[in-house]
Structure 1
Amino acid sequence: MAPRSSTPSNSQETAWPVHRLNESIKGWIDRLGWLWVEGQLTQINTKPRWRFSYLTLRDTEVEQSIELTCPTSVLQELSSPLNDGDRVVVCGRPDFYVGRGRLSMRVSEIRHVGVGQLLARIEALRRTLAAEGLFDPARKRRLPYLPQKVGLITGRGSAAERDVLSVANARWPAVQFEIINTAVQGASTVPQVMEALKRLDHNPSVDVIIIARGGGSVEDLLPFSEEALQRAVAQARTPVVSAIGHEPDNPVLDNVTDLRAATPTDAAKKVVPDVAEERAVLEQARARMAGALRGWERREREGLNALRSRPVLADPMRPITQRREEIERARNLIRRDISYLLRGEQSQVAGLRGQVSALGPAATLARGYSVVQVLPRDGSGPEVVTSIAQSPPGSQLRIRVGDGSITAAAMSTQRSD
């Protein structure tokens, strides 16, 4: 049943037979004419007595291929024999076999792609990706300090895999690996590595990814310079490390990844920390911290001792005692001064009292004299009698003598001569 969005060019009643469809397809394909096509050879099937040889040309970046039909004489005329994995360009014409509905390409010429030409293409791709910013150090991510799980993409049973695992386990036995074995040479390398990279990048437990291979010729390393792989690495969210053991040429992968390692062994050293070195660093840090703590404690103790040696801290009551002694001395001085003043005043009072006593009436009375006072009838205070007029007969008198007083009455008065 045809999709609703498409409209067939004929009707059910006028349906084409298969031969007409195949002939139409062949006509369309024949219009392409002769083409130069580049790819990688696989499945070379040839014998000297055969008139035609059969090969498969695969794309270097994706899982696509086309069958080639080539005269055996063309292969025999080549300067060097063809091998699986050779990078070639072929001149041919697409051919559609209507009998079986099979597409192939009839080839009239095959040429090896030279190393110089391959290197020129790699450099051109390197310049293009650099202009796009894929080599910019600012976009490269830092590797985790201690990865819990490392993704490893390498060949099955390869020396690169053994080197990475042995070195990593020796440095940090607790590290875990998620290993995906892929082709590391040939036409299937790029799609398999890209698929493995996608799987590891989507695994949340993988902290870093290593792509490792143990070196090789320029032709062997060509898959690691394919554009599709570079863009896949650039789009990955997990840090990627390239570990293609080779010198001095390096594939484009080394420029795109977040870190380049010279060899798989070097990659393991850069990704996985050395537990012995880390313990040594911890011991050094612990020793430095302990020394710093001891120095701080010593300085603080010395400071406390210096404070304790001060008089105010050696005897906290001393200032109070000193003030108390000062107050006591001041009070004694004040008391002495007051006593001195009192004695002086007492002496002065005693002297004045002696003078008063000597001059007062008491002394006179003591010598036999007396003082006569009259008591007025109105009850007012007594008056000293100095005249007989003050004490008419019958007046009440009080006579003061040295040791008391005598009450008497005036019997009569007599004026003196």
Structure 2
Amino acid sequence: MDTSFPSDGPERQEPPAQLPRLARDTTPENPWPLSKLSYALHGWVQKAPDAWVEGQVIEVSHRARVSFVTLRDLQEEVSVSVTMFKKDMARLEHPLERGSRVIVNLKADFYVKTGRLSMLGRDIRPVGLGDLLERLERLRRALADEGLFDPSHKKPLPVLPHRVGLITGRNSDAEKDVVRNATNRWPGVEFEIREVPVQGSGSARAVIGALEELDRMDQVDVIVIARGGGAFEDLLSFSEESVLRAVFAAQTPVVSAIGHENDQPLLDHVADFRASTPTDAGKRIVPDVQDERLRIAQARSALDRAVSGMLEREQHGLATVRSRPALAQPDGMILVREEDLDRWRSRAWSAASSLTLRAQDSVSQMRARVRALSPQQTLDRGYAVLQTADGSVLTDADDAAPGQSLSVRLARGELGVDVTSSSARQPGEH
């Protein structure tokens, strides 16, 4: 880094030629005169451009020709004293008051004689309500376009938080309202309280620090950011972009409880739940123990009725099943089947007997027919069969020669005869 400074100042006697030209070339043996360094710093500061800055007035002191205004940064613990000339202050419609937000055109100045760096204010403009509202509206639209207000990103509140993180002002009514109403509804709830400035310079940074600390605690189930009512300017810390982004990034559900019903800082849109007042927040973060006891009693009663009804239905069904004949007289089914078996046995026996009798009759008839056709039957009626010696049956008288021996077969026994004569006479002829 070049540590040289341009030489810019009133006419003065030139330093000896042997003096170092640059600040970095100075040594204990060859130092600069103090005036050379002061004039060099003055020239360097004079080249710095002016800048418009915004801050909050924390102190105003008027002199004859100038006024000294102390400004503080809206976010950080940074303050600066500004020298304003009377003609610039005269353009203000209303005198400056402590706590006012202003925009000032600042120009840095280094006073050579005392070596003091100061800020000269060339123009000062109060930030009116309209300007603040316009800024908030632009911020609201920008964050909405990014999705920070999207309901899909909002985390549900726990049904019964064991420990509640509370960010609020020191010994504030908001703290008392949240703790008292939550404890009245659920006596067992515990609080992790962080007391921070809730308005003015540095409040946004303090709220963010407390939020990040509580968000890292595993035992904290929900975080409430609470503040009582106040002027519009008093609630601006809860519309700061840094606060809104910290709430959106938190892993723990966040409840916004700022001001009264009509107060709606941008925190209400980013938080996971908006309570209209700190009192409302105390009622919303925990259930009512009396209501829960009533619900438990109602649930137990409904469960008793359901179980009793089920038992009665099952008992009635069991009695109905037991009253059925199959269970009331289990041997009845066997008796019915036994009767059926006897009936079927009787019918089978009758059918078999009938078939046997008919078969016997048929056999007898067939036997009679066979017997009627039997040669023995013919012999029994007095007929005889003549057979030759070789066993051939003789049917024609011409086949027998006189003196031929024949065998006569009778119904019982045989006779041996000799042919004495033959005749061609037919039966029935004389």
TM-score by length of structure 2 reads 0.68
* 1:210 corresponding residue in structure 2: 224
The CA distance in 2 between the partners of 1:165 and 1:41, in whole Å, is 34
The Cα shift of 1:186 comes to 0.8
The Cα shift of 1:253 comes to 0.9
The Cα shift of 1:303 comes to 1.3
The CA distance in 2 between the partners of 1:51 and 1:205, in whole Å, is 60
Residues 193-202 or 25-34, more deviating: 25-34
Q: Deviations over 1:21-67 (max 9, x none)?
A: 6655543332234332111122x152x55654433322222333322
2:329 to 315, 319, 338: 315
Matches within 5 A, 1:182-221: 182-221=196-235
The CA distance in 2 between the partners of 1:83 and 1:34, in whole Å, is 24
* 1:39 corresponding residue in structure 2: 55
Structure 2: which 5+ residue stretches go unaligned? 1-21, 358-430
The Cα shift of 1:76 comes to 7.5
1:268 to 282, 292, 317: 282
The CA distance in 1 between the partners of 2:23 and 2:322, in whole Å, is 109
* 2:96 corresponding residue in structure 1: 82
The Cα shift of 1:100 comes to 7.1
| Cα 1:121/1:311, change in 2 over 3 Å | same
Q: Deviations over 1:364-384 (max 9, x none)?
A: xxxxxxxxxxxxxxxxxxxxx
> 1:10 is paired with a residue of what secondary structure?
helix
* 2:269 corresponding residue in structure 1: 255
The Cα shift of 1:289 comes to 2.0
| Cα 1:149/1:22, change in 2 over 3 Å | farther
The Cα shift of 1:192 comes to 0.9
* 2:46 corresponding residue in structure 1: 30
The CA distance in 2 between the partners of 1:233 and 1:95, in whole Å, is 40
| Cα 1:88/1:45, change in 2 over 3 Å | closer
The Cα shift of 1:94 comes to 2.0
| Cα 1:49/1:121, change in 2 over 3 Å | closer
* 2:238 corresponding residue in structure 1: 224
Q: Deviations over 1:233-284 (max 9, x none)?
A: 1111111111012343411111111111111111122211111112222222
Kindly provide the amino acid, as one letter, of the partner of residue 192 in structure 1: A
Tell me how large the CA RMSD over aligned residues is: 3.3
Kindly provide the amino acid, as one letter, of the partner of residue 95 in structure 1: D
The CA distance in 2 between the partners of 1:252 and 1:59, in whole Å, is 21
The CA distance in 2 between the partners of 1:16 and 1:128, in whole Å, is 56
| Cα 1:26/1:320, change in 2 over 3 Å | farther
Q: Deviations over 1:199-226 (max 9, x none)?
A: 1111121111111111222111111111
Kindly provide the amino acid, as one letter, of the partner of residue 266 in structure 2: V
Q: Is the 8 A contact 2:261 2:277 kept in 1?
A: no
Matches within 5 A, 1:279-318: 279-318=293-332
| Cα 1:241/1:121, change in 2 over 3 Å | same
TM-score by length of structure 1 reads 0.70
Kindly provide the amino acid, as one letter, of the partner of residue 39 in structure 1: G
The CA distance in 2 between the partners of 1:17 and 1:271, in whole Å, is 69
Q: Is the 8 A contact 2:75 2:205 kept in 1?
A: yes
Structure 1: which 5+ residue stretches go unaligned? 1-7, 345-417
* 1:239 corresponding residue in structure 2: 253
Q: Deviations over 1:284-332 (max 9, x none)?
A: 222222222222222212211211111112233332344345556777x
| Cα 1:154/1:337, change in 2 over 3 Å | same
Report % sequence identity: 48
The CA distance in 1 between the partners of 2:260 and 2:154, in whole Å, is 22
* 2:368 corresponding residue in structure 1: none
The Cα shift of 1:177 comes to 0.7
* 2:428 corresponding residue in structure 1: none
Q: Does 1:66 align with 2:80?
A: yes
The CA distance in 1 between the partners of 2:82 and 2:95, in whole Å, is 16
2:177 to 143, 149, 163: 163
The CA distance in 1 between the partners of 2:327 and 2:39, in whole Å, is 114
